[in-house]
Amino acid sequence: MKRPAAFVLASLAVASFAMATTYVRVEKDGSKTYSDRPIPGGQPVELSAAQTYTPAPQPIVPNGLPTEQQLLEQVNDFKYTSCKIQPPNDTSFTNPETVAVSVALTPELRVGHKLVVTVDGQPIPGADANAHSAVLPNVPRGTHTVALLVKNNFGKTLCNTTSVFHVLRPSVNAPARR
């Protein structure tokens, strides 16, 4: 019990001493005498404020993002100059065994970017991730939509295009007609 009380008293004494005015007197032999009370022939010591550091506030720009975030977005403000899908839009196929789908990007796909190609809203079955081409077997009759989407590693869309193609097959009722 005595130890904590002594510690508290010592702490209070140091704190009061630190806040009190300090006086200094230069003796005849050149030595200095310091006191927390005014002494005859003593002068108050002017202590300059301790050096401190206050970081500058981050500038907030009109879009509300800090400078570092803006710089990151500028680095990632990349766009593909051209993104195309084959088959071209409004192409018709009559009785195809397969339909080839391919993607052409200018410049080439960057590292970290994700290429997604879908047919009628579904990923191409068996196609590798970021594959630039695929073959669709046994495409049913009708109109189909191929979509290309390229996203960066932050999920931002960099390229987006679609193409529609048509598959014509003879009628089951008239198989001889082509």
Domains and CATH numbers, the chain: 78-168 (2.60.40.10)
Contacts of 49 (CB under 8 A, 6+ apart): none
The average pLDDT across 29-48 equals 87
Give the N- to C-terminal CA distance of the chain in Å, as an integer: 105
pLDDT(47) > 90: no
Mean pLDDT of 35-59: 83
The share of the chain scoring above pLDDT 70, in percent, equals: 78
* Identity at 50, one-letter amino acid code: A
pLDDT band at 9 (very low <50, low <70, confident <90, very high): very low
- CA Rg value for the chain: 40
The pLDDT, as a whole number, for residue 152 is 82
pLDDT of 8 reads 43
Handedness of CA 132, 135, 139, 143 (dihedral sign): positive
Strand order in the sheet with 98-106: 82-86, 98-106, 133-137
- Residue 108 · residue 80 · CB < 8 Å: no
Q: What average pLDDT does the structure give for the chain?
A: 80
Residues in the chain: 178
Specify the higher pLDDT residue, 55 or 8. Answer: 55
Residue 103 pLDDT more than 70?
yes
Helices in 40-170 by DSSP H: which ranges?
Answer: 67-75
Q: Mean pLDDT over residues 151-157, rounded? A: 81
